[in-house]
């Protein structure tokens, strides 16, 4: 890649803060501007390793702020965008959807509109120096709705979002798609399954299981615990984003998943078993703390991904097996929660 000034949004969140150190290491000729509002979900401590890197700059701000976004494009002559920033927790979207509409839809619009104005003279006509500029939109498999016991999502699956979160992500995917078809903007979208790994916010399933277990509290599992998700180690997602960004075809979508389906109750039991080994309780097993709570409204039953396209066309495949990834994850949260 020639020298690029890449705007990363939401880089202080879970996936972004795993992605930035990885991406800086992979590409020595890039400069990253990380624009993050630092909502409750952002944590700059997760970027300690890169904060003094001369190829990295943090800017605190909102992706919905038109003037700020425009000024960043001008000041840094942004060549590309990798857009992570979002409200990301389904439960919060049920309690208060408005922030999801603002950030996920209006924020994406603000960013891609700034990119269009900065990179294009007019439709299908890039400005000199921006011929290769790319907008990579990070999205989720939740836009495809819910599967039954069988079947997989792929790039051709019709959209059927069921929560305000997934509906707002679906809307943003459509906006991004339209900028390719209408203006010829060089966009790529990736839709990934559930990520796990270090640096995820406490509110999400795996950190909650570990935190509650260690605190000796009930470990809450929705409904009957039979909801199935495909789990991918966060660094495998980062590698998928890297190949889709650097090698993906303009206008294309790539679904990314681990071929690694587990239901929530089995995730909780596996984590408790790891904890029993690495951090045993005085009496009994952590599994005894698992309790079932009232199900999430509109809870999708199953997500599963057929990642054939990114594997065959771009040569990506997951590197981490689930047991090893989960052990690394448990060990990271053990040290976090023991410090706090």
Ligand X SMILES: NC(=O)c1ccc[n+]([C@@H]2O[C@H](COP(=O)([O-])OP(=O)(O)OC[C@H]3O[C@@H](n4cnc5c(N)ncnc54)[C@H](O)[C@@H]3O)[C@@H](O)[C@H]2O)c1
Active site residues: 141-142, 165
Tokens of 217: 């509290």
| Beta carbon of residue 276, minimum distance to ligand X (angstroms, whole number) | 26
> Of 50, 13, 4, which is closest to residue 31 (Cα–Cα)?
4
Cβ closer to ligand X: 141 or 265?
141
| Beta carbon of residue 192, minimum distance to ligand X (angstroms, whole number) | 4
Tokens of 51: 């904060």
For every residue of 85-112, DSSP letters joined together read: -----HHHHHH-THHHIIIIIIIHHHHH
Cβ closer to ligand X: 100 or 183?
100
H helices present in 216-263, as ranges: 234-247
Cβ closer to ligand X: 120 or 310?
310
What Rg value do the Cα atoms of the chain yield, rounded? 20
H helices present in the chain, as ranges: 14-26, 66-76, 90-95, 98-100, 108-119, 164-183, 205-215, 234-247, 264-278, 308-314, 322-339
Cβ closer to ligand X: 130 or 233?
233
| Beta carbon of residue 278, minimum distance to ligand X (angstroms, whole number) | 24
Cβ closer to ligand X: 103 or 289?
103
| Beta carbon of residue 305, minimum distance to ligand X (angstroms, whole number) | 10
Q: What residue number has its CB nearest to ligand X?
A: 13
| Beta carbon of residue 281, minimum distance to ligand X (angstroms, whole number) | 29
Burial class (CB in 10 A: 0-12, 13-18, 19+), 252: middle
Site of interaction with ligand X (CB under 6 A): 9-10, 12-16, 36-39, 41-42, 62-64, 84-88, 103, 107, 138, 140, 169, 192, 194-195, 201
Please give the Cα distance from 276 to 280 (Å, whole number): 4
Are 143 and 153 in contact by the 8 Å Cβ rule? The answer is no
């Amino acid at each position: 890649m020639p020298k690029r000034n890449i705007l990363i949004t939401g880089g202080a969140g879970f996936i972004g803060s795993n992605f930035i150190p990885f991406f800086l290491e992979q590409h020595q000729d890039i400069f990253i501007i990380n624009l993050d509002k630092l909502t409750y979900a952002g944590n700059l401590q997760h970027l300690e390793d890169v904060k003094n890197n001369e190829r990295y700059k943090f800017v605190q701000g909102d992706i919905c702020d038109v003037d700020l976004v425009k000024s960043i494009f001008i000041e840094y002559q942004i060549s590309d965008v990798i857009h992570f920033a979002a409200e990301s927790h389904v439960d919060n979207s049920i309690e208060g959807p408005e922030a999801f509409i603002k950030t996920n839809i209006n924020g994406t619009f603000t960013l891609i509109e700034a990119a269009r104005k900065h990179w294009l003279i007019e439709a299908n006509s890039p400005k000199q120096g921006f011929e290769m500029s790319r907008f990579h939109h990070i999205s989720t498999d939740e836009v495809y709705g819910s599967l039954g016991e069988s079947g997989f999502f792929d790039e051709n699956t019709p959209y059927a979002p069921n929560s305000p979160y997934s509906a707002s992500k679906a809307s943003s995917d459509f906006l991004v798609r339209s900028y390719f078809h209408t203006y010829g903007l060089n966009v790529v979208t990736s839709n990934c399954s559930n990520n796990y790994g270090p640096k995820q916010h406490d509110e999400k399933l795996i950190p909650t299981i570990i935190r509650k277990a260690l605190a000796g509290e009930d470990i809450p599992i929705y409904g009957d615990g039979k909801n199935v998700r495909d789990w991918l180690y966060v660094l495998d997602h980062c590698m998928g984003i890297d190949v889709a960004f650097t090698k993906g075809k303009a206008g294309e979508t790539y679904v990314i998943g681990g071929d690694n389906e587990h239901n929530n109750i089995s995730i909780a039991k596996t984590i408790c078993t790891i904890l029993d080994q690495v951090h045993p309780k005085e009496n009994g097993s952590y599994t005894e703390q698992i309790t079932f709570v009232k199900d999430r409204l509109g809870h999708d039953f199953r997500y599963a991904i057929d990642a054939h396209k990114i594997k065959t066309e771009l040569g990506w495949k997951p590197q981490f097996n689930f047991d090893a990834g989960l052990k690394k994850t448990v060990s990271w949260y053990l040290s976090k929660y023991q410090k706090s």
